[in-house]
């Protein structure tokens, strides 16, 4: 349902076709016209007209064809012009802030990340720091008209409609209208979208990482907290307000520890960073350095470290089994901390999943580490910021303003 109930007009077709071409180029990179013909199923003439319109708007350009050794006239390469449309991606991570300027097609023009003290910080302070970082990434005198949107990833429960940060435990924020605050700190009217870090990590892995071409994905981002980004039939699961995907707070252990969310025995309390460090006998607030120490110990054969990883692996497998039963995903992607420990726990996880998941969905799922590393949420923020442009390029460049008018004169 949803779109099915609305009527379509003939103009819709052109918009959809322009969007199909732009999305193809954005997700799968530069390609020849004839490739576009076969991928979209449109005719050569249709592609010609559409590309002409996109080229007139400056969004794409055609280059000399790459000779590929087959008979027939070579087809010119079509590529998006990353200079023409860019987004600013921002991230508030637990230990760092990051910013990147990304051109359409996914090219990272500039990227910067600075360390951040853990713990509570005021909204104003963070917004100012982010603005400072943004200015470093966006060159002075940069043509503001090519900046399409701003995307922000953060560890928080975020409402999709307006970017309200309902809860950011590690920052101590509650019900903060971050989008608006950031707009004033950056002194800009460009649209700002805010979203959960794990949701954006999932989006990035789906577009550019381990989950390309996979339409049913459970992405798990394990850091201090455990977040999830879930892709169902190729679409991000947001829920009714955008709060969806909080898999870290599945109740799993009735005799478990209290969780900062107010509940207890959440998955997060068994597989999060603190859980690993606690079990390994390291300071629970030690952060990434202590995690590295645990992994080093495990490699060296220290029993307590190995047992700690075993325990985490078992709980990880238990939770995964539930998610696999619920979502029947094709792929589970482990990001962040969970991606890093994956080599150590893969066997334990697989055994536990074997034991506890239903055979039918179990057989079809693969469990892999994430491939984009720490920048996944940042890249996801860029992807999200591009989304309106990808969904309707015509709306962005003023649709019927610059028709090619090829052979009228």
Partner DNA sequence: ACAGTTTGAAAGAAAGGAACACAAATTACG
Partner DNA sequence: CGTAATTTGTGTTCCTTTCTTTCAAACTGT
Nearer to its own copies, 45 or 145 (CB): 45
Q: How many CB atoms lie within 10 A of CB 177?
A: 15
Q: Is 38 in the site for its own copies (CB under 8 A)?
A: no
Q: Is 153 in the site for its own copies (CB under 8 A)?
A: no
- Tokens standing for residue 49: 């007209």
Nearer to DNA, 44 or 107 (CB): 44
Q: What is the dihedral of CA 385, 83, 36, 388, to 10 degrees?
A: 20
- Taking the C-alpha atoms of residue 273 and residue 225, their distance in angstroms, rounded to an integer, is 7
List 183, 195, 321, 333, residue binding its own copies (CB under 8 A): 321
List 23, 30, 42, 328, residue binding DNA (CB under 7 A): 42
List 22, 24, 26, 50, residue binding DNA (CB under 7 A): 50
Shortest Cβ 394–DNA spacing (Å): 8
Q: Is 215 in the site for its own copies (CB under 8 A)?
A: yes
Nearer to DNA, 13 or 364 (CB): 13
- Taking the C-alpha atoms of residue 279 and residue 348, their distance in angstroms, rounded to an integer, is 16
List 48, 113, 260, 278, residue binding DNA (CB under 7 A): 48
- Taking the C-alpha atoms of residue 65 and residue 209, their distance in angstroms, rounded to an integer, is 28
Q: What is the dihedral of CA 179, 180, 184, 185, to 10 degrees?
A: -40
Instruction: Name residues contacting DNA, limited to 221-260 (CB under 7 A).
Output: none
Q: Is 8 in the site for its own copies (CB under 8 A)?
A: yes
Nearer to DNA, 61 or 253 (CB): 61
- Taking the C-alpha atoms of residue 372 and residue 217, their distance in angstroms, rounded to an integer, is 15
List 24, 75, 342, 348, residue binding DNA (CB under 7 A): 75
Measured on CA atoms in the order 67, 68, 69, 73, is the torsion positive or negative? negative
Q: Is 363 in the site for DNA (CB under 7 A)?
A: no
Shortest Cβ 104–DNA spacing (Å): 20
List 27, 55, 58, 74, residue binding DNA (CB under 7 A): 74
Identify which of 128, 29, 118, 108 has the alpha carbon closest to the alpha carbon of residue 375.
108
237 binds, among its own copies, DNA, none (CB under 5 to 8 A by kind): its own copies
List 114, 144, 347, 364, residue binding its own copies (CB under 8 A): 364
400 binds, among its own copies, DNA, none (CB under 5 to 8 A by kind): DNA
What is the b/e burial string over 142-176, where b = at least 16 CB atoms within 10 angstroms of the residue's CB? eeeebbbbbbbbbbbbbbbeebbbebbbbbebeeb
Q: Which residues contact 287 (CB under 8 A, 6 or more apart)?
A: 95, 118, 273
Identify which of 216, 211, 215, 191 has the alpha carbon closest to the alpha carbon of residue 201.
211
List 28, 31, 46, 232, residue binding DNA (CB under 7 A): 46
Q: How many CB atoms lie within 10 A of CB 72?
A: 7
Q: Is 271 in the site for DNA (CB under 7 A)?
A: no
Helix (H) or strand (E) holding 167: strand 164-168
Q: Is 310 in the site for its own copies (CB under 8 A)?
A: no
Instruction: Name residues contacting its own copies, limited to 234-253 (CB under 8 A).
Output: 234-235, 237-247, 249-253
- Tokens standing for residue 130: 């982010």
Q: Is 37 in the site for DNA (CB under 7 A)?
A: yes
Shortest Cβ 309–its own copies spacing (Å): 19
Q: How many CB atoms lie within 10 A of CB 180?
A: 13
Instruction: Name residues contacting DNA, limited to 12-31 (CB under 7 A).
Output: 13-14, 17
Q: What is the dihedral of CA 221, 224, 226, 230, to 10 degrees?
A: -30
Shortest Cβ 51–DNA spacing (Å): 8
45 binds, among DNA, its own copies, none (CB under 5 to 8 A by kind): DNA
Which residues are at the interface with DNA (CB under 7 A)?
7-11, 13-14, 17, 32-34, 37, 41-50, 65, 67, 69-76, 400, 406-407
């Amino acid at each position: 349902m949803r779109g099915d109930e609305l009527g379509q007009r003939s103009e819709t077709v052109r918009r959809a076709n322009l969007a199909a071409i732009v999305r193809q180029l954005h997700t799968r990179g530069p390609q020849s016209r004839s490739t576009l013909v076969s991928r979209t199923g449109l005719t050569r003439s249709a592609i010609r007209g559409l590309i002409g319109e996109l080229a007139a708007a400056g969004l794409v350009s055609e280059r000399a064809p790459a000779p590929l050794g087959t008979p027939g006239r070579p087809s010119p390469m079509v590529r998006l012009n990353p200079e023409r449309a860019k987004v600013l991606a921002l991230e508030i991570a637990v230990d760092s802030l990051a910013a990147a300027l990304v051109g359409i097609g996914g090219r990272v023009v500039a990227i910067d990340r600075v360390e951040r003290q853990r713990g509570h910080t005021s909204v104003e302070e963070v917004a100012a720091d982010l603005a400072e970082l943004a200015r470093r990434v966006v060159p002075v005198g940069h043509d503001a008209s090519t900046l399409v949107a701003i995307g922000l990833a953060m560890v928080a429960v975020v409402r999709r409609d307006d970017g309200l940060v309902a809860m950011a435990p590690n920052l101590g924020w509650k019900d903060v209208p971050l989008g608006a605050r950031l707009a004033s700190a950056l002194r800009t009217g460009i649209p700002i979208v805010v979203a959960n870090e794990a949701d954006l990590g999932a989006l990035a892995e789906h577009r550019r990482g381990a989950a390309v071409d996979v339409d049913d994905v459970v992405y798990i981002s394990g850091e201090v907290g455990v977040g999830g980004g879930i892709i169902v039939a190729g679409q991000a699961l947001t829920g009714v307000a955008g709060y969806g995907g909080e898999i870290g707070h599945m109740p799993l252990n009735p005799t478990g520890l209290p969780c900062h969310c107010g509940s207890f025995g959440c998955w997060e309390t068994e597989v999060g960073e603190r859980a690993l460090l606690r079990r390994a006998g390291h300071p629970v607030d030690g952060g990434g350095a202590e995690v590295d120490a645990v992994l080093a110990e495990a490699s060296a054969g220290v029993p307590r470290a190995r047992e700690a990883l075993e325990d985490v692996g078992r709980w990880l497998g238990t939770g995964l089994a539930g998610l696999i039963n619920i979502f029947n995903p094709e792929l589970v992607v482990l990001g962040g901390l969970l991606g890093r420990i994956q080599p150590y726990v893969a066997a334990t996880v697989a055994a536990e999943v074997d034991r506890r998941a239903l055979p039918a969905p179990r057989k079809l799922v693969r469990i892999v580490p994430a491939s984009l590393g720490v920048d996944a949420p940042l890249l996801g923020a860029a992807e999200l910021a591009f989304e309106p442009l990808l969904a309707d390029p015509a709306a962005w460049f003023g649709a019927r303003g610059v028709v090619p008018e090829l052979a009228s004169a």
